[in-house]
Every structure is written in structure tokens, then in C-alpha cells.
Amino acid sequence: MAEYLFVYHGGGMPETEEEGQKAMAAWEAWFTSMGSNVVDAGKAAGASTTVLSDGSVEPNGGANPVSGYGLFEAPDLETAIKMAQGCPVLSDGGSVEVAETFEP
């Protein structure tokens, strides 16, 4: 099976402890639903900075800042996309970028 990097963009930070618990429960349920396909549940990401090809720096992650990542196994891109469609960040207005990874 191939491995796919899921890069999360957007979404929001919970404003209350109750919202935080609800968000964590949604993420845990999503990870649980994928079982052994979760290679690395990943981590949330803080404020990012983008270094551009000309060497300039764009603060705050640019146009579409990263908010986290995960690594998952799937037999093909279509299946990986279906897995990503259940990601909790989507219900909070975010998006998931899906890319197959390759050994160097």
C-alpha cells in the first residue's frame, strides 16, 4: 500500500474547553475509523512562515497556511481522498491536501 500525506489547512481553534473536548473526540473517532491505515496521526501546527523561491519570506503561512498533518496508508489516491473526506477540519471550514509520498 502507498502512503499519503494529508496536510490540513485552516479550521479554527476551539474557544472553550467544551469545544476543545468535542473537537478532540471528532479527531479521535476519525483516526479510530481508519484503524491500521494511520501511519502517523501527525500533529497540529502553529503559525508558519513561507520561504519563497527568491529567498523572500512571507509571514503567517501565505495564502493557505498549514494547520497540521498526518500520514496514512491507502491502496490508491481515490481511497486516500475518500479517507480525507471524513477529516474533522472540513466541518470547521478547513481543507485537506492529499499527496502520495515516495522513498528518496
Tens digits of residue pLDDT in 9-54: 988 778 899 998 999 999 999 999 999 999 999 999 988 888 889 9
Q: Is 97 part of a structural domain of the chain? A: yes
Q: Quick one: cell of 63?
A: 495564502
Write the DSSP symbol of residue 52: P
Q: Is 88 part of a structural domain of the chain? A: yes
Percent of the chain with pLDDT over 90: 70
Total domains in the fold of the chain: 1
Enclosing domain of residue 4 = 1-11+65-104
Residue 59, pLDDT > 90, answer no
Q: Is 18 part of a structural domain of the chain? A: no
pLDDT tens track for 7-18: 999 887 788 999
Q: Is 45 part of a structural domain of the chain? A: no
Q: Is 3 part of a structural domain of the chain? A: yes
Q: Is 100 part of a structural domain of the chain? A: yes
Cα maximum dimension of the chain? 44
- CA 62, CA 71: separation in Å to the nearest integer? 23
Burial of 67 (0-12, 13-18, 19+ CB in 10 A): buried
Q: Is 16 part of a structural domain of the chain? A: no
Q: Is 77 part of a structural domain of the chain? A: yes
